[in-house]
Amino acid sequence: MTRSTLRAGQPFLTFNDQERQGCGPMIPSLSETPRPLRQQIFERVRAAGQMPRVQVARELAISPASVTTLTSELIELGLLEEVSTASEGARGRPAVSLGVRAAAHYVGGVKLWDRGLIAVVMDFAGNVMGGESIPRDPGPVEPAELIRLVAEILTRVCANIGLNPGDLSAVGLGLPGFVDTNSGIAHWCPVLSERHVPVAAMAAEVLGLPVNVDNDANLVTLAELWFGAGRRLSDFAVVTIEHGVGMGFVLNHRIYRGAQGLGTELGHTKVQLDGALCRCGQRGCLEAYIADYALAREATTALNWSSRETQSMNILLESLYDHAKAGNAAARSIFHRAGRYLALGLANVVNLFDPELIILSGERMRYDYLYAKETLAEIEALALNTGRPAPRIEIHAWGDLLWGHGAAALALSAVTEGLLGPSRDTPAA
């Protein structure tokens, strides 16, 4: 996989699964949480892709005998397998490493947004087997229609790779809005016609599979944590700018969700008392000054584009961007104002969390005015002056399937926890 440091005008990038080995956070041994040792071993092997037993023992600071016993159990369970790592032309017995048995389980990941759905299917080692996106008409949908669309796209992806949806062990589902991953309830979602919808339970009933639901910004963060720049970082933030503004935060190698699972809603932090109306129903939210509907609102007023209200959002924003590039002062001021509000939001993230890295992601990051030099300079001016270097800021535009990667990682994590986590009845040493 490739990534790029923030540079104005850079093109979108895509995940390249051929360039990576393993998946999941590369967690240093000193930060291990009290998880069963079998689970720690499995996750360490999965993160590395392949790992000899002696290295497992060294990294987890346990005896080789314990590793042998526990990895034998994991092999017997069909979760790990031995992999020959002999190099060409080498003499003697080939070295043997451990690797995840990819066919042990399959998971699906689905993300719903305003204009469509994206889905991927992964094997247990985190390899993408297939993916697809389908459009839909913009606007809120009934919960039952949402579940029907999820079932439809999963069926299509599975059919393309020779699986049945019933072959999946779990599904991860991402939605914009206020989503409680613990209860599986979408308390408010701009693409659903109702509030407080038990999405996970409804989807599980229709699909006949365990379903885990999360906020879509958390999915992008999970994708970075499992497959991207965040694999070796303990603390980093991901800010997404699309139809709305979202944020995910990794604290000590884990997604931070807050006491009620609704934390890090950066887009709905207030930047103006009694300010612009946000789609959540409140006023003065950061999102109401940065998201695409905010830019469109400004364009219809400043450029007298009320006659363009029938145009699609994408066409209107492309036109606004073209006018700004051509030197139109009003169009440029709209992007400049949005960039300043973005700088304010990111400076607050720096002051609150002190992350090592901030990743900007999402469809709207193709508008380079949002991360121009002036914006970056304003972040530094608004953040606390400690005399130490500011956090790195990178732009990662991986493409649509990024969201599916994160949703599948959510499902992989849930399956692993169910098989090997502390709740298992079998002792795990």
Q: What is the per-residue pLDDT for 1?
A: 39
Homologous superfamily (CATH) for 105-221+402-420:
ATPase, nucleotide binding domain (3.30.420.40)
- Residues 54 and 56: their CA atoms lie apart, in Å, by 5
pTM for the model stands at: 0.83
CATH of domain 15-103: 1.10.10.10
Task: State how beta strands 392-396 and 357-361 pair.
Answer: parallel
pLDDT in tens, the chain (429 residues): 334 343 333 333 445 544 567 888 876 544 445 789 999 999 999 999 999 999 999 999 999 999 999 999 999 999 999 998 755 555 556 678 999 999 999 999 999 887 789 999 999 999 999 999 988 888 889 999 999 999 999 999 999 999 999 999 999 999 988 999 999 999 999 899 999 999 999 999 999 999 999 998 899 999 999 998 889 898 999 998 878 889 999 998 889 988 877 788 899 999 999 999 998 889 999 999 988 888 888 888 877 776 666 667 778 888 888 888 888 898 888 888 888 999 999 999 999 999 999 998 877 666 666 666 777 788 888 888 888 788 888 888 666 677 889 999 999 999 999 999 886 644 433
Nearest to 410 by CA among 223, 278, 147: 223
Determine the Cα–Cα distance for residues 382 and 343; give it in Å rounded to an integer.
Answer: 8
* Rounded distance between C-alpha atoms, residue 26 and residue 291, angstroms: 33
Q: Find residue 404's DSSP bridge partners.
A: none
Report DSSP letters for 108-151, one per residue: EEEEEETTEEEEEEEETTS-EEEEEEEE--SS-B-HHHHHHHHH
How would you label 216-248 residue by residue, b for 16+ Cβ within 10 Å and e otherwise?
bbbbbbbbbbbbbbbbebbbbbbbbbbbbbbbb
What is the pLDDT at residue 378? 84
Q: Tokens 């659903």 identify what position? A: 192
Q: Are 164 and 62 in contact (CB under 8 A)?
A: no
Instruction: Check residue 27 and give its pLDDT.
Output: 62
Whether 114 contacts 191, CB under 8 Å: yes
The dihedrals phi and psi of 251, each to the nearest 5 degrees, come to -120, 120
Write out the two tokens for 4: 């790029």
Question: Domain limits of the chain?
Answer: 15-103, 105-221+402-420, 232-398
Same fold flag, 15-103 and 232-398 = no
Distance CA 414, CA 172 (A): 9
pLDDT in tens, 265-310: 899 999 999 999 998 889 999 999 988 888 888 888 877 776 666 6
Angstrom distances, CA of residue 24 to CA of 226, 228, 405, 406, 410: 4, 9, 11, 11, 11
Q: Does domain 232-398 have CATH number 3.40.47.10?
A: no
- 153 phi, psi to nearest 5 deg: -70, -35
pLDDT given at position 18: 47
Mode of pairing for the β-strands spanning 106-113 and 116-123: antiparallel
